[in-house]
Structure 1
Amino acid sequence: MSMDPFHEGERRVQRRVGGTEEADRNSPMISPYIPAGAIPFLQQQSLLVLAVLDKGAMWCLPVAGKAGWMAASRDTLYLDLEQTIDPVDERILRAAEDRQLVGGVVLDFATRRRLRVNGRLEKPSDKLMVLSVAEAYPNCPKYITQRALAWSKDAPAHALLEGESLTREQRDAFEKTDVFFIATQHPERGLDASHRGGNPGFVVSPSDRTIRFPDYAGNNLFNTLGNLEIDARVGLLLPDFNNGTALAISGTASVSYEDQGRARWTTVTVQRWTQMRLPVLEKARQLSPFNP
């Protein structure tokens, strides 16, 4: 008997919102291999967002490289460390050295195309990381703001900053954003990194330790919410394409369901944050027509 493509947390959420049948219809998209048509796409991209566990905390972190720094076969993603724009975050390197399971998402903002790639990350040499694929699948372009981005050495050389409580400026950035990424995990099935988007104002920060946002209608797989049913640890990544920085948050999350599951809200309690350089600047943007 084949293994259910969904774990118990995902199934629980699917039943709660009445989405089991649609999830089953969409499940064939989940593959143990990178689709052949996605290999050229990956080789043209510059930004990879990874979900990693580090010292027991969940983080969502970026890796940026010059076009061509990623190469792929059907079962492996190759990451050329000599072609990254900035040094790779130590949390990612530790995950690779420990051969940990990670979750990845590659997103082309210009075309609103994205691909999820999950598996085991390794570092066979100082020049290379490899991700052995456990599952790969595309996501729809809903809620993705179309952007023209330029990878630039002119982005400010911000030092790495750390803290526990969010500053007023950071909270304002969340409340003005139309994009962030989220990292979660299931202890046996592994980690997921996912995109979240909406019109500015769809994220709120009621306090310096709290971030709150809705879950919009999608494909009913419920990878993120299903993981949070089992493990409350969460990581958020907020890119700021105006000043070339990114804010990473580690904490825990709870999900509330209203209106028979049709309204879903995630509340994140912030435990730690780091702010880093992300050398990409925005030239133009167009909000998604699917945003509520």
Structure 2
Amino acid sequence: MDATPFHAGEVAVQSRIGVAERMAEVGRRVVRDHMPEQHQRFYEQLPLMLAGSVDPAGRPWATVLVGPPGFVQAPDAWHLTFAATPIPGDPAAAGMTAGSPLGLLGIELHTRRRNRVNGELLAAGPEGLRLRVSQTVGNCPQYIQGREVQWMRDAADTRPRAVERLSQLDGDAAWLIAAADTLFVATHAGAAGADVSHRGGPAGFVMQEDERTLLVPDYSGNRMFMTLGNLQLDGRAGLLFIDFERGDLLTLTGRAEIVWDGPELAALGNAERAWRFHLEEGWWLRDALPLRWRFIDWAPQNG
């Protein structure tokens, strides 16, 4: 890319931090409009990819697409196909239609490898999905907890054993958030498209302020600020918490604002800033994943 790959929201955050000029140069080297060969092969051997979609009301949702290794294919550097459909009952499905933006994250927890790819859905139906790539970037392994994956049942069986709507974060939801060391966040910025990103930290790194509000620390990262940049332009976010031992998904959507400074940051360890999430709607998808993960070790940054 000859021009800057960053949109106005990302540049605004980079400028506030004082890194816009440097990131413009870095971005031209590492942000691409196509997938490198190694990214293509990486996606093709994964059993799961994270996805961020935007429903007809403009609300982002973070979710997963699941299948046996090979369910993702890269026929060339500009397209991805998925022999998978959204999880039944998943609100993210409403945004997975032809012509819609979709953000994707391929992540392998046991190797801590991850790459992002964003684009537009060319096709979506019972046979699966087809994406035209618009932006790709490799991500560093920071804050990823090591976990080994194993199959518990047939890969096609993503039917949740229960689907439950929730309007506040209490009971099981509060317990999962309090124990979480990983979450995924979906955002979007209009014409700039949709995105989904990983966030990790020590267990309990997300602070619950009340029954509808979460405070999420923002640690030092790659300085691209794709998530925060999207929030600058459209203050909506979708959060996904995975119960790695039970296969449950807790998916939330709501409003988010960046917390640049203030006393609340003191309680978040070495966070450089944070963002506050206000729940509007949430869903439990119980035992939706045919996969489980065994914890191996903590990310070195948590030490």
TM-score of the two chains, using structure 2 as the length reference: 0.88
Query: What secondary structure is seen at the aligned counterpart in 1 of 2:216?
Result: strand
1:274 maps to which residue?
A: 283
- Structure-to-structure mapping, 1:181-200, within 5 angstroms: 181-200=184-203
d(CA) in 2 for partners of 1:98, 1:242:
34
- Greater shift, 114-123 or 89-98, is seen at 89-98
Task: Describe the shift of the 1:51–1:288 C-alpha distance in structure 2 as closer, same or farther (beyond 3 A).
Answer: same
| Letter of the structure 1 residue corresponding to residue 232 of structure 2 | E
d(CA) in 2 for partners of 1:257, 1:244:
34
C-alpha displacement of 1:97 = 2.8
C-alpha displacement of 1:224 = 0.5
1:145 maps to which residue?
A: 145
Whether the 8 Å CA contact 1:103–1:118 is kept in 2: the answer is: yes
Unaligned 5+ segments in structure 1 are: none
Whether the 8 Å CA contact 1:254–1:266 is kept in 2: the answer is: yes
1:13 maps to which residue?
A: 13
Task: Describe the shift of the 1:127–1:231 C-alpha distance in structure 2 as closer, same or farther (beyond 3 A).
Answer: same
Task: Describe the shift of the 1:145–1:224 C-alpha distance in structure 2 as closer, same or farther (beyond 3 A).
Answer: same
C-alpha displacement of 1:214 = 0.7
C-alpha displacement of 1:157 = 5.1
Quick one: which of 194, 202, 205 aligns to 2:205? 202
2:97 maps to which residue?
A: 97
d(CA) in 1 for partners of 2:60, 2:250:
14
TM-score of the two chains, using structure 1 as the length reference: 0.91
Whether the 8 Å CA contact 2:50–2:63 is kept in 1: the answer is: yes
Quick one: which of 154, 169, 172 aligns to 1:166? 169
Query: After TM superposition, what 4+ stretches of structure 1 lie above 6 angstroms from structure 2?
Result: none
| Letter of the structure 1 residue corresponding to residue 224 of structure 2 | L
Whether the 8 Å CA contact 1:158–1:245 is kept in 2: the answer is: no
% same residue:
30
| Backbone CA RMSD of aligned residues | 2.3
d(CA) in 2 for partners of 1:239, 1:193:
14
Task: Describe the shift of the 1:87–1:157 C-alpha distance in structure 2 as closer, same or farther (beyond 3 A).
Answer: closer
Q: What are the superposed Cα offsets for residues 65-99 of structure 1, whole Å, 9 maximum, x if unpaired? A: 11110011200011013xx6x84666454433342
| Letter of the structure 2 residue corresponding to residue 198 of structure 1 | G
C-alpha displacement of 1:279 = 2.4
Q: Does 1:285 align with 2:286?
A: no
Whether the 8 Å CA contact 1:245–1:279 is kept in 2: the answer is: no
Query: What secondary structure is seen at the aligned counterpart in 2 of 1:290?
Result: helix
- Greater shift, 47-56 or 213-222, is seen at 47-56
2:55 maps to which residue?
A: 54
Unaligned 5+ segments in structure 2 are: 266-270
Task: Describe the shift of the 1:124–1:266 C-alpha distance in structure 2 as closer, same or farther (beyond 3 A).
Answer: closer
d(CA) in 2 for partners of 1:183, 1:94:
14
C-alpha displacement of 1:193 = 0.4
Q: What are the superposed Cα offsets for residues 147-182 of structure 1, whole Å, 9 maximum, x if unpaired? A: 111122299952111121122321121121110100
